[in-house]
Structure 1
C-alpha cells in the first residue's frame, strides 16, 4: 500500500494531528488515524471536488507546497470492502438511507458511519456497482450478493429476518424481488421441509472396506436428506456438521469423496492454501464467500480439509486476525445447516482445534477413523480388483500384510501390480505380480525403507 505524502504528526485544526496511514487509493486520497479513535480522509483538491462533499465543511491543509482537503470523522470511516457488517437494523437503515442519496453507477465507496455519509469515487480499473450490489456487500461483510434478493440475503445474514431486510432495502430506494411472507417473522428454512414432501431418491451409500463408517453416513446423512419431510415432522432438521479425525492415510478423504459423489451435490472445498491470506480481514472474507456460494447451490457440501491448520485453539496471545477467522467460522457453520449445506471437516490433530468449533450445534459428530483392519482391507481389495482382469483368488494373506497401513498403500500395491503385469506383456494380474508389488512397497514407517542415492 503506497504511503501518504503527509507524515505522521502533521497538525490539523482543533489540536488534532495525522497518525499512521490506513488506506490509500490511486494517490488521490488517504485515510489516516487520529487521536481518540478518529479518522481523517485527506484528499487532493480534484478528488474532493469529484466527491460532492461540501467544500465549506472541509479543512484546507498545505504541506510541502501542495494543497489538500481533509474530512475528519468521529469513528468508523473506511472503504466499503473494509467495513464491518452491521449488527443492528438501525445501522443497516442508516447506510441504506445514505446510499439512496447517491447516483448509480457506483465504483468505490467511503462510508462515515457516525455522520451516515457515503462518499462515492472512481478508482482505476474499478468495476461499476449498482446500489443493490453495494448494499449487499455491506450487509454481508463482503459477499457478492444483490441486496434486493431478500431471500438470498436472509440466508447470509441470520441476525436479521426478512422484515428487517425489507425495511433496509426500502430505505435504499430499492424494490425487493421477494415480498415479506409474514410481518416480523423469520422465513421458514428449507431444512424444515413440510410433512408430506416426497423422499429424495438417494440409494444406500456403500464404502468398500469401511462398513461402520458407511453405516454412520447412511443413518445420519443419507436417510435424513432422502426423507426430510418425515424427519422434519419430528423436529429433525438438515444434518449438522461432521468431523472425521484420525491418522494420516486412514482414508478420511477417500470416504468424503465417495460420499459427495454418492449425494451428487456441488462440493465447495476450504483448505489453508485456498483461504489463507496475509491481509487482515481477507481470510474471513474468503470464508464468508465460500459459505455464501454453497448456500446458493444448496443442497451442497463444504469440505474443510486439514482444519487444524486454520482452526487451531485461540490461546492467550493469538493474533487478532486468527481470532477473527475462528469467529467467522463460528457464525457460518450453524448457518450452513439451516440452509441445507452439509459441512464435513477432516483433521489428524483434533486436540489442536478450538473447543468452540467442536461444540454440538456446529459439529454434531466427531468420528474417529483409524487405519483399516484386515476385513476392511479385504473389502477394499475386492473393490479395487473388481474391474481389473486378475487371477488373484486368495486375498487374506495380502490383507494381513497390509492391515494397519494407509489405504493409499493398498491402492498403490494394486496399481504397481498392474504396471508389472503390463510391463511383462500380460493381460491379467496374478499372484506373482501382487507379491512383487508388495515387496516393492514397504511401509514407510518401517526401518527397511528403500533408499536411493548415498
Structure 2
C-alpha cells in the first residue's frame, strides 16, 4: 500500500538532506528516500520524546524541525546504513551486518527490556531498534532476531540448527557469534551429515530400524540433507504422533522411494477440535522436530479492512514459504479466512476472493515442498471446496484427552520437577480425563506455584489437588473467577 508523504518532495531537512518519496510509515513515523541513495526517519515529537525519555536515543541525535503547524524530529542515514522496520528488512549480506543488528538488539534490550520490537524500526546509525509501541503484545525476542536474520521466516534464534540451515553462507562459529551477541545462548551446533557412499547406501529397512530404536538417520532428499534423532514424539497424543510419523516423517525420510511411486511430498493437513486440546502445541513440536522455517497465516498478521489487501498478504506469505522450502506453513483459525462462501453477509464478495486465493495457492505450495497444516475449532464453517481431497487430504480431529493421554502428558510435565512420594499421576489422570490438555498444563503449573508459595522444596499431591479443585474446566458453563467490587 502506498505511503503518502508528510513533506513535499525536495523539502530540505535540518541536516541538508532533501526528501524523496516515502517508502514505509506508520501513524507516528515515516521513512523517506533522500538523494544519493540515503534514507531519513521522520517521527512526530511525541514519539521522539518517548524514545528520549526511555534513554533509547540522546536528544542531540534527533534534529527537530517544523512544517507548517506540525513539529517533527529526524535522523538521516547514508546509503550504506540500514534503516527499515524490524520485520520488513532483507536478510543480511555479511557477518558484520548481522553482528551490527545483533548488537543493536542487545543494546536496545539493555535499556528497554519490555517494549515489543516486532513493530520497531532498526536504525543502524544509532545501533538501536526503536519501538513504535503499536503492537498489543510482543513477539518473543528470539523470534524477532531469527525473523530479521532470515529475511522474513519466523525462526527462533534459539533453534540454532534450523537457523544455520537457512543461513548456509555463514559458518557455524560466525553464526554463533551473532546469536550470542544478541543475548541468546547457543547450546548446540549443526551435526555433520555423513557423506560417504556407505552412509548414503543405507536401505529403507535399516533407516526405519534406526528410527524405531531412537538412533540417527538421514533422509535422502534432493540436496536437503537432514539428520533426525529417532521418531517424532508427542507426549499425551499417541494417535496424532503416529499419524505424523506415518504421513509426514516417513515420506520425508524415504523421499526417493515415495517419489518413485508418485508421492512427492506430505499432503496438507487440517487439525480440528475444541480449544485447548493441543492442536497448536502439536504443530509447534512438529516444526521443531523438522527444523524447517515456518510461516503463519492468522487474523492478526494478514487480515485487513481494505479491499484486496488480505488476499495480497496471503499471497505474500505463500511466496515466502515457497522461497524458503522445504518449510511449514501454518494456517491458524482457518475459519476466519476460509468460511463457506455461501454463508453470505456484507463482505461475502471479499471472502470469495480470499478463498479463491487459498484454492490456488495450496496445491502450488505443496508441489514446492511446503507442508501446510491448518487448525480450526469450527470445521463445520469451512468452505467445502477447501476441504476436498487434493487440497487437504487429511482431516484429523484432536479431541479432549483420555486418561491414558493425560497420564502420558503428566509424566512428561512432572519428569523434571522435584516431587515427593505422594504425587500420584494415575489418580490425577483419571480426574482430568475428558478435559483440554491445557487444563493439565495449568494444574501442574498452579500446583508448583502453590508449593513454592508455601515454602515447600518439593511438589506434593496436595498442591496438585488444590489446584484442580480451584481450576474448574472452562468447557462448560461454570462461572468465571471474579476479582473486584460487586
TM-score after normalising by structure 2: 0.53
**Displacement after TM superposition at 1:234 (Å):** 1.2
Map of 1:423 onto structure 2: 453
- Describe how 1:35-74 pairs up with structure 2 within 5 A: none
Q: 1:24-173 residue pairs with structure 2 within 5 A?
A: 125=32
Are positions 1:342 and 2:371 aligned together? yes
Deviations 1:124-168 (A, max 9, x none): 94799xxxxxxxxxxxxxxx99xxxxxxxxxxxxxxxxxxxxxxx
CA contact (8 A) 1:333 1:362 kept: yes
Looking at structure 1, the residues matched to 353 and 254 of structure 2 have their Cα atoms a distance apart, in angstroms, of: 37
Q: Secondary structure at the match of 1:315?
A: helix
Describe the SS at the equivalent of 1:288.
helix
The 1:433/1:321 distance shift into structure 2, 3 A limit, reads same
Matched, 1:252 2:252: no
Asked if 1:320 is matched to 2:349, the reply is yes
Report if aligned partners of 1:194, 1:232 keep a CA contact under 8 Å in 2. no
The 10-residue stretch of structure 1 (437-446 or 259-268) with the greater mean CA deviation from structure 2: 437-446
Give the counterpart of 1:402 among 426, 432, 439: 432
Question: Is residue 220–residue 253 contact of structure 2 (8 Å, CA) maintained in 1?
Answer: no
Q: What is aligned with 1:286?
A: 313
Distance, in Å, in 1 between the alignment partners of 2:310 and 2:387 is: 20
Residue in 1 that maps onto 2:409: 380
Distance 1:272 1:371 in 2: 25
Equivalent in 458, 469, 472 of residue 442 of structure 1: 472
Deviations 1:387-409 (A, max 9, x none): 11112542121111111111111
How far is 1:197 from its partner?
A: 7.8
User: For each residue in 1:89-113, what CA deviation from the matched residue of structure 2 results, as whole angstroms up to 9, or x when unmatched?
Assistant: xxxxxxxxxxxxxxxxxx99xxxxx
C-alpha separation between the residues in 2 aligned to 1:396 and 1:414?
14
Structure 1 residues 403 and 320: alpha-carbon distance in aligned structure 2, compared to 1, 3 A threshold: same
Deviation, structure 1 residue 310: 1.5
Q: Counterparts of 1:197 and 1:441 in 2: how far apart (Å)?
A: 50
How far apart, CA to CA, are the structure 1 residues paired with 2:449 and 2:458?
11
The DSSP-based 3-state class of the residue aligned with 1:209 is: coil
Structure 1 position 254, deviation (Å): 1.0
In the TM superposition, what is the alpha-carbon distance from 1:198 to its structure 2 partner?
Answer: 9.0
With over 3 angstroms needed to count, the CA separation of the structure-2 counterparts of 1:316 and 1:261, relative to structure 1, is closer
Instruction: Indicate how the Cα distance of structure 1 residues 316 and 196 shifts in structure 2: closer, same or farther if over 3 A, else same.
Output: closer
Counterparts of 1:400 and 1:339, CA distance in 2: 45
State how far apart, in whole Å, the 2-side matches of 1:371 and 1:386 are.
Answer: 23
Compute the RMSD of aligned alpha carbons: 3.2
1:201 aligns with 2:231: no
Measure, in 1, the Cα distance between the counterparts of 2:356 and 2:479: 46
How many corresponding residue pairs?
280
Residue in structure 1 matched with residue 303 of structure 2 by the alignment: 276
C-alpha contact 1:246 1:370 (8 A) present in aligned 2: yes
Query: 1:28-48: per-residue Cα shift (whole Å, max 9, x none)?
Result: xxxxxxxxxxxxxxxxxxxxx
Contact 2:450 2:463 in 1 (8 A): yes
Which structure would you say has the larger Rg? 1
CA distance in 2, matches of 1:354, 1:26: 41
Distance 1:331 1:198, change over 3 A: closer
Distance 1:360 1:412 in 2: 37
Contact 1:269-1:304 at 8 Å conserved across structures? yes
Superposed displacement of residue 226, structure 1: 1.6
**Secondary structure of 2:374 counterpart:** strand
Structure 1 position 217 matched with structure 2 position 247: no
The verdict on how the C-alpha distance between 1:432 and 1:393 changes in structure 2, with shifts beyond 3 A counting, is closer
The answer to whether the 8 A contact 1:199-1:227 is kept is: no
Partner residue of 1:432 out of 449, 454, 462: 462
Query: Cα gap change, 1:385/1:232 in structure 2, threshold over 3 Å: closer, same or farther?
Result: same
Partner residue of 1:265?
292
Which 10-residue stretch deviates more, 399-408 or 371-380? 399-408
TM superposition shift of 1:440: 1.9
SS class of match (2:456): coil
The yes-or-no answer on 1:237 pairing with 2:267 is: no
| Structure 1: stretches of 5+ with no match in the other structure | 2-22, 28-106, 109-123, 129-143, 146-192
Match of 1:61 in 2: none
Aligned partners of 2:269 and 2:441: how far apart in 1?
Answer: 26
